[in-house]
Structure 1
Amino acid sequence: MANAGAGGRGSLFLNCDIITLDARHPRGEALLAREGRIVAVGSLNEVLPLAGAEVERIDLGGHVVLPGLFDSHLHLLAYGLSLNEPNLARASLGEVLSRIRSAAAGLPPSAWILGRGWDEASLGSLPGKDQIEEAAGGRPCLLYRTCGHVAVAGRRALRQAGITPASPDPAGGTIDRDPVTGDPTGILRETAIQAVADAVPAPSTADLESAVRRAAGEALSLGITSVRPEDVRTAGTLERACSIYRNAVGPRHVPLRVVLDVFHLALGEFLATTWPSDEWFRLGAVKIFADGSLGARTAALSDPYRDDPGNRGIQVTPLRELKRLVMMTHRAGRQVAIHAIGDLAVANALDAIEEAQWAAPRRDPRHRLLHCQVLTSALIRRMARAEVVADVQPAFVGSDYRWVPDRLGLRRTRHAYAWRSLLEAGVRVAGSSDAPVEPLNPFYGIHAAVTRQDREGLPPRGWRSRERLSPLEALQLYTLGAAYAAHEEDRKGSLEPGKFADMVAIPVDPSRADPPSLKDIRPVLTVVGGKVAWAGGPFQGLAEN
């Protein structure tokens, strides 16, 4: 048994199978929590004497208990807003247009239609400005591809954004144009989207706070107790983003813990101000884009795309500027989180991190590389030497495997989405959803990491099955790995005395479950700080109390 003393009334969780992820004490059947922290974990006979007569007893009816899950990279505010928009995921062109018509019905002529999730693989081709303009009834319309790195805008939206045939491509982005007329087709890539996004009326602060609360409540229902969102762009400013989260989550609101990463355009504001922090909310890393997305063919590759030979992607932040931003952040004692999907982007990110560490050595900075989808064996070794954290999204495997070989060819596919190779090389790996790019559900990611399949069970033997993880390894991505990436392994990631009493109860032991069934796991109870934060099924009454 492990314990950290006693004091106060507290809560005793008993009659459960606890997977602690503490290597010294891997299992338990009872857990005592006081004042938000774990006091003891072990057998009932060991823990009960520490509880005292006044302790609240919660019988978990034989359910399995895991550490609270931690989504290490997502856009929680953007996800909350997307819940009120047309979902275009896996939709055919006819279905996309139908959903836009439905969304437009009854809206004023000037109202904007926003949507997300389309994919040209499902549509058969890229959508055009005239198609969506007609479906929206002439209203301004902006629809994001599933990755968020490409969007299609209708004619009216382009006009309101001031995009014309004479408009130049912005730095770090492109405007697709008709090869004959030169007119914009409506397809905007990377930073070219921003002009239209800026023309969309900003939601009210109340609407943004409501979106965060709704998304945070869903996170709790999925067993997520901590999140690491990057939502400054959606909020508009860093100060506004902090205010929105402070008023939406925490012990007086939705009890979800937040580490907010900061978009690099707010770096000056971030470094110039002392921002209050506590166990519920604090600021984290500085987010920088090195490239775009593989699906959109904007991920930066060393060699051209196999299915687009003249294209090597987009370096959204040029290498010189990337190095400047990383150096500034590193010297300030902060962490960077660099979006790097293609192998060239990963190499550039490592160049910037290695140069900063050489110029200003720091102990354990734990800089992060987000996504890391196209690697080489040499890049993996460099990541290990640089001691960066790979922040990966296992659910991408199920969404992308059909077209990755077309984008990359066989040789580069050997080190694509290579989560096991990273672990075997000694790279620390954290898991996340990148919601709303993928669903928020962490068990979808755990399922994909273990099976290398989509949620329909395809391909039958898994894609690049050598990279499969065990269920416990996959679980650790969303617990110990994410906590380590946030410098929070002393308080999160496992169920040990002294750490936050954040946990989730589920019906089955994922380490013993049939791998295809991992995607179907649904929590029945989520506890944050020793208190019931969400309850369902047989524990519904606890939530009501």
Structure 2
Amino acid sequence: MYFADKVFINGKFYTMESEGKYAEAVAVKDGKFIFVGTTEEAVELAKGEIIDLQGAPVLPAFTDTHIHLVMDCEARQRADLKGACSIGEVLKLMKEKAENIPHGRWVQGTGLHIEHIKEQRFPDRHDLDKIAKDVPILVQSYCGHIFMLNSKALEKAGIGKGFKWHIDGLVDFDDDGEPTGIVREGIYNDCILPAMGPILPTYDIKKEALYGELKECVKNGIVCASTYTSYSGDPLEYLYQYKELEDEGRLPVRIILNSSAPLAKSIGAVTGIGNENIMIGAKKLFSDGSLNSRSAALFEGYSDEPETYGVLVHDQKEMNKEVLEAYQYGMEVSVHAIGDRAMEMVITAAENAVKVCGVKKHFRIIHAMLPAAGHIERMKKLPVILDVQPIFLRNWVDLCEERIGKERMQHFMPLKSYMDAGMVVTGGSDAPVEDINPLLGIECAVTRTVPGEESGKALVPKECISVFQAVSMFTKNAAFCTDQEKVRGTITPGKLADFIVLSKDIFTIPKKEIHKIKVEKTIKGGVIVYESVND
């Protein structure tokens, strides 16, 4: 008989193997479940600690399949502009931030929603110069695809009159040919970052900020994070710091590192290399921008700006080449695609790669917000996984029809249609773009409303999914997308003992109260890595 290191009894363990299935207790040995069943049977296996959950509901721990851990660390160092409702309020918050920034550092703000700003425009260099002309100032939009700079920041970035770039439309100019201070997309990486320098300037500061970020993850029930390269310029984020935290016993989250760097070709690092705590994930590519900035690539113009069609980062030939090269080397390929025109490009590139070399790994389409007619049927024939962030829905309830029109809106983030077609859909947050709390995303997926808002207005309610389907996005589906479905994602003997204890039963409370649920305990490998403190 195998004896457990630890048993958890008197719970309601939703295994997520099938809808409605639950057990009373689990036994854990060497970080894995060795038993799932009744309390009486579990106690018989106990050799060590017995933890009584007193009837609390339990789920497999969450995975965030699309998060930028280091970017979220960086965002926490900037002024939070998510609640700003006017340019004057933006300037006030940025001025307060400027008063607490060390000399020589850029003053930065993030999370600006143009939809919330009464002037319905972004602040330009003239606005930001009112804060300071001799200190560089940068403001980032909510979507992370638009950046606003004052005159000093433009100067340091080398963006002036007559500035040329290989992609048109990424820098706005006034009638005199001077930059307005509003720039987009890759201008940030290529021009601004080299001039600005890191927001987390030293090794120790970076490492401790990252540890703090991971503690926020487990507080929200996240035990695995599929993290994407930050704008810090390090193609593997801070791999050495994840490893150090693991060696120090301070890595409470399993890390899957996804990178835009050519790892497979350069050093032979392909998807799956690593261990159960740190492993290499996908090759990350971009095809377009965002709907917020009207840079997501559409077949037809934006309804509120008909002459604008968005931006394609690559042409079809380039995308085919990038996808095929990574896929041939054994990489899972993960491509950002929001608009229907961008999704067309990515689907075509995936079809080409499979035609050339057969099925090797998954293709992950990140966001997949606006498929066109025929896209779902084509994707069904491919090893495509849709890496969706349902929490985005709360930002589009009132804006979607105005931005893309009533007809296209019917296909906006069609979760039910995707799932009815048999496609695997996973859940993430895209933090720092959105809140990392998966419970918010789950409520958005099942109600398509704004959590906590009384109006009850829903965005295309025919695309609502069940609570079981939404929880699956953040648990068993998330494990499948990295070929780890035999290792984690459900509460099953032999799998990693990663699970969370909730304050309320997500399957029995009203759907519009899911956001009120709290994570009481987070367990990784049978070890409690977070426990709430009741005042």
**TM-score, normalization by structure 1:** 0.93
Q: 1:46 to 1:173 in 2, by over 3 A?
A: farther
Q: 1:273 to 1:386 in 2, by over 3 A?
A: closer
Does 2:8 align with 1:13?
A: yes
Does 2:479 align with 1:489?
A: no
Displaced runs of 4+ in structure 1, greater than 4 A? 264-268, 272-276
Indicate if the aligned counterparts of 1:120 and 1:127 stay in contact, CA closer than 8 A: no
> Which has the larger displacement, 430-439 or 468-477?
468-477
Q: Which amino acid counterpart does residue 16 of structure 2 have in structure 1?
A: L
State which of 279, 283, 289 in structure 2 corresponds to 1:282.
279
Q: 1:430 to 1:240 in 2, by over 3 A?
A: closer
Structure 1 CA distance, aligned partners of 2:115 and 2:457?
Answer: 22
Indicate if the aligned counterparts of 1:172 and 1:190 stay in contact, CA closer than 8 A: no
Q: Which amino acid counterpart does residue 143 of structure 1 have in structure 2?
A: V
Which residue in the other structure is 2:359 paired with? Answer: 362
Q: 1:250 to 1:315 in 2, by over 3 A?
A: farther
**TM-score, normalization by structure 2:** 0.95
Indicate if the aligned counterparts of 2:12 and 2:58 stay in contact, CA closer than 8 A: yes
Which residue in the other structure is 2:34 paired with? Answer: 39
Structure 1 CA distance, aligned partners of 2:298 and 2:62?
Answer: 33
SS at match of 1:215: helix
Cα offsets for 1:273-330 (capped at 9, x unmatched): 8996111001100010010001100001111111112211011133222111110111
Q: Which amino acid counterpart does residue 14 of structure 1 have in structure 2?
A: I
Structure 1 CA distance, aligned partners of 2:307 and 2:49?
Answer: 66
Which residue in the other structure is 2:66 paired with? Answer: 73
Does 2:90 align with 1:96?
A: yes
SS at match of 1:103: helix
Does 2:412 align with 1:416?
A: yes
Does 2:221 align with 1:223?
A: yes
Which residue in the other structure is 2:304 paired with? Answer: 307
Structure 2 CA distance, aligned partners of 1:537 and 1:135?
Answer: 41
SS at match of 2:10: strand
State which of 89, 106, 116 in structure 2 corresponds to 1:122.
116
Shift of 1:250: 6.9
Q: 1:45 to 1:24 in 2, by over 3 A?
A: farther
Which residue in the other structure is 2:136 paired with? Answer: 140
Shift of 1:47: 2.3
Cα offsets for 1:324-347 (capped at 9, x unmatched): 111011101110000000001111
Q: Which amino acid counterpart does residue 59 of structure 2 have in structure 1?
A: L
Structure 1 CA distance, aligned partners of 2:438 and 2:236?
Answer: 29
Indicate if the aligned counterparts of 1:238 and 1:269 stay in contact, CA closer than 8 A: no
Q: Which amino acid counterpart does residue 90 of structure 2 have in structure 1?
A: V
Structure 1 CA distance, aligned partners of 2:27 and 2:271?
Answer: 36
Which residue in the other structure is 2:50 paired with? Answer: 57
SS at match of 1:368: strand
Cα offsets for 1:477-505 (capped at 9, x unmatched): 00011111111111111000010000000
Shift of 1:207: 2.1
State which of 146, 151, 160 in structure 1 corresponds to 2:156.
160
Indicate if the aligned counterparts of 2:236 and 2:258 stay in contact, CA closer than 8 A: no
Does 2:234 align with 1:241?
A: no
Shift of 1:423: 0.3
After TM superposition, the structure 1 = structure 2 runs for residues 52-451 of structure 1, keeping only pairs within 5 Å, are: 54-92=47-85, 93-123=87-117, 124-136=120-132, 138-171=134-167, 174-178=170-174, 180-194=175-189, 195-202=191-198, 203-231=201-229, 233-238=230-235, 241-249=238-246, 252-264=249-261, 268-269=265-266, 271=268, 277-363=274-360, 365-451=361-447
Structure 2 CA distance, aligned partners of 1:43 and 1:25?
Answer: 16
SS at match of 1:317: coil
Indicate if the aligned counterparts of 1:398 and 1:453 stay in contact, CA closer than 8 A: yes
Structure 1 CA distance, aligned partners of 2:455 and 2:165?
Answer: 39
Shift of 1:435: 0.4
Which residue in the other structure is 1:543 paired with? Answer: none
Structure 1 CA distance, aligned partners of 2:202 and 2:262?
Answer: 22
Shift of 1:524: 0.7
Q: Which amino acid counterpart does residue 114 of structure 2 have in structure 1?
A: E
Indicate if the aligned counterparts of 1:213 and 1:249 stay in contact, CA closer than 8 A: no
SS at match of 1:406: helix
SS at match of 1:261: strand
Give ranges in structure 2 of 5+ residues lacking alignment. Answer: none
Query: How many percent of aligned residue pairs carry the same amino acid?
Result: 29
Structure 2 CA distance, aligned partners of 1:386 and 1:243?
Answer: 35
Structure 1 CA distance, aligned partners of 2:389 and 2:94?
Answer: 29
Indicate if the aligned counterparts of 1:172 and 1:191 stay in contact, CA closer than 8 A: no
Give ranges in structure 1 of 5+ residues lacking alignment. Answer: 541-545
Q: Please state which structure has a larger fraction of its residues in helix.
A: 1
Structure 1 CA distance, aligned partners of 2:236 and 2:430?
Answer: 23
SS at match of 1:142: strand
